[in-house]
Chains A and B, each alone.
Chain A
């Protein structure tokens, strides 16, 4: 899985763009492996979800794992530009109450 990382806030934060349509059992390990160093190196991480069209329960678990990592170091993880099917799934499993979700990149940046 390819992740594009863009530094913001003088390197304190990063915008991570997921270059995959799916986040499921097939690529969740690769996603976690690539996300862990990003989460460790940055205080604030914005996750661009615009490319994702499908997330399964293992993908949701990986996102929760990322959130736990960020919370442990008192950082921030914000999701933005989520596709409607993914948003519907988040609402179904009540994860929209746990994550900070924004419609656009600008809204997510403004909330930092």
Chain B
């Protein structure tokens, strides 16, 4: 093996198999093709392409399998990596030789053959050897025998004579042991043949990284969270108080590890919410999909309080359309409620909370705003009416833009929070809630006889559009009742608001108008 620039001796053309020998098990078990699952921000497909480009390939023929669309979406023209990419469909039963003949390659030149499902850990350092007439396969030693990595530098003549399909196990033997081969032994490649291989690949990448603890940009890690090397934390990740992360943990960008979660030997894929106090050991998690390697099971966890997929940046959910329609339909009710509440001062209730001695502005206690409703009869704006007028209706605009969800609890990532206008950011930043938010749901939970309460709880525990619509209908009904029964300041609050906010009637709190 020689360290050199291979471009001067090889053809500068590569063949990349995306449905090759190792891409047949557990593929898409986590919702996307395994070669596109990011391992420390870069998928195996990307790593394979980068290796080929570094080895001098400027034109890469990509053989597409079942997962053609996502592969093409990811690679595009290849310009990002400084190469040209051509796409060809490869029938699973088609032989490699026939496929190569279709490409019209010159028989006398050498071409890189690569399998995206298993990729060498280190950049390729192979110089074309004129003595190896057929080719130079890259192999690794599993302790008993030499195994083919799916990679090698082969002559066009040899490739055109391979009459086996890429998924055929006998192809590996041919590519490794055929006469006039000069195999190179490398370290075991990264692989996505099984999910256990994926987890092991993450561990090996962590062991190979320059710093034991890698933290990317714009992360928020709570001072009480603990990280144990080796660990990789992607961009825009948030780690909550008391969380324990590591060793051997890789967290993808935009993920949110909530308070008290304990992660060891685990891969968290990008934009994934990991709930409070969860325990993960030997796990790969992507959105709601959880792969437990020891149990050899992939399961979906539908409870958004445990696992969830955070909405990617810029994605407008289907609720956006509903939000827009509601904004139009509810405009008359909004203006009616504005008229109804004219002259009312807006109250920002507060409660007395003692602060640490050094932070006290005056002896005793300071007033800190809390999300408690004002509770003095005769001086109370209709609770749901005010919620509708000042929170729900203006918030529909953010629902349309995909920044907020209509009904909580729905996790959102920091990137989504950052796009909110400041006043909404203060209200909703980092909380798992929607417009009909946790405050309303919790109060409903305290009064389970109420129909609104049962709908709210059903909506919180199910991901069912019918439950959402039912809750919305009930909510708007109560708002209407509030607005009909409550007049301007000075009237008593309605029966509906009393039922929903019953658990705070006796709370002793102070208030100050804005």
Contact = CB atoms under 8 A, between A and B. Distances in A.
Contact of B458 (A25, A56, A92): A25
Give chain A's interface residue range (CB within 8 Å of chain B).
10 to 19
Interface centre among B283, B301, B305, B462 (most CB of A within 10 A): B301
A104 interface: no
Contacts of B303: 56-57
B86 interface: no
Contacts of B462: 25
A88 B297 contact: yes
Interface stretch (B167-175, B213-221, B273-281): B273-281
A89 interface: yes
A88 B299 contact: yes
Nearest to A88: B292
Contacts of A87: 292, 295, 297
A81 B299 CA distance: 17
Contacts of B278: 92-94
Contacts of A93: 277-279, 306
B468 to A, nearest CB: 15
B283 to A, nearest CB: 8
Interface string A31-59: 00000000000000000000000001110
B281 to A, nearest CB: 8
B296 interface: yes
A56 B303 CA distance: 7
Interface in A45-94: 56-58, 84-85, 87-89, 91-94
A84 B295 contact: yes
Contacts of B281: 91
A23 B278 CA distance: 20
Interface in B279-296: 279-281, 283, 290, 292, 295-296
B302 interface: yes
Given A58-B461, A92-B306, A93-B306, A85 B279 contact: no
B158 to A, nearest CB: 45
Nearest to A83: B297
B304 to A, nearest CB: 10
Contacts of B301: 89, 92
B462 to A, nearest CB: 7
A70 B189 CA distance: 52
A19 B277 CA distance: 31
A91 B297 CA distance: 12
A91 B279 contact: yes
Contacts of A92: 278-280, 283, 290, 301, 306
A94 B292 CA distance: 14
B469 to A, nearest CB: 18
Contacts of B296: 84
B47 to A, nearest CB: 29
A94 B277 CA distance: 9
A71 B303 CA distance: 28
Contact of A88 (B277, B295, B458): B295
A56 B280 contact: no
Contacts of B279: 91-94
A58 B460 CA distance: 12
Contacts of A89: 299, 301
A56 B461 contact: yes
Contacts of B305: 57
Nearest to A85: B299
A16 B372 CA distance: 45
B261 to A, nearest CB: 10
Nearest to A84: B297
A94 B275 CA distance: 12
Interface string B458-472: 100110000000000
Contacts of B283: 92
Contacts of B297: 84-85, 87-88
Contacts of B306: 57, 92-93
A56 B297 CA distance: 17
Interface string B118-147: 000000000000000000000000000000
Nearest to A87: B295
A89 B285 CA distance: 12
A56 B462 CA distance: 10
Contacts of B277: 93-94
A94 B260 CA distance: 12
- Most chain B CB inside 10 Å of its own CB: which residue of A25, A58, A92: A92
12 contacts: A56-B461, A57-B305, A57-B306, A57-B461, A58-B461, A85-B297, A85-B299, A88-B292, A88-B295, A91-B295, A93-B279, A94-B278
Q: Which 6 A-B pairs have the closest CB atoms?
A: A85-B299, A84-B297, A88-B292, A94-B279, A25-B461, A57-B303
Interface of A: 25, 56-58, 84-85, 87-89, 91-94
Given A25-B458, A57-B303, A92-B306, 16 more contacts: A25-B461, A56-B302, A57-B461, A58-B461, A84-B299, A85-B297, A85-B299, A87-B297, A88-B292, A91-B292, A91-B295, A92-B280, A92-B283, A92-B290, A93-B277, A93-B306
